[in-house]
Amino acid sequence: MPIALLSALAEPTRLGAMQILADGQEHCVCQLMARLDASQSRMSRHMQTLKQAGLVVDRRDAQWVRYRLNPDLPGPARAILDAVLAAAATEQRTAA
């Protein structure tokens, strides 16, 4: 069931993180917290959640942990993610 995926995405900070990571680049926790205005522990925990859901992968790089989209995300999950990101993007345009 995609329940785990949906739960992971159904939270503003986590969805925000996914929108940032959607650029395909790696981002460290410190960047994410800054851009999403989240505290350190909050951001770290949310990234754990996304990782457990299989949406992202992390990599230690010196003092940083760099997160990026899970490149091996299964097709159906990837389709959900794309649809969600597209919807989120649409809304932001609408609000502008």
Partner DNA sequence: GGAGTATATGCGCAAAACAGCATATGCGTC
Partner DNA sequence: GACGCATATGCTGTTTTGCGCATATACTCC
For the chain, helix (H) and strand (E) counts, in that order, are: 5, 3
Task: Figure out which of the listed residues 2, 6, 23, 30 binds DNA, where binding follows CB under 7 A.
Answer: 30
The Cα–Cα gap between 45 and 8 comes to: 12
Task: Figure out which of the listed residues 3, 39, 41, 60 binds its own copies, where binding follows CB under 8 A.
Answer: 3
Contact 22, 69 (CB under 8 A): yes
Stretch that binds DNA, among 7-15, 16-24, 74-82, 87-95 (CB under 7 A): 7-15
* Interface ranges with its own copies (CB under 8 A): 1-3, 5-7, 9-12, 15, 76-77, 79-80, 82-84, 86-88, 90-91
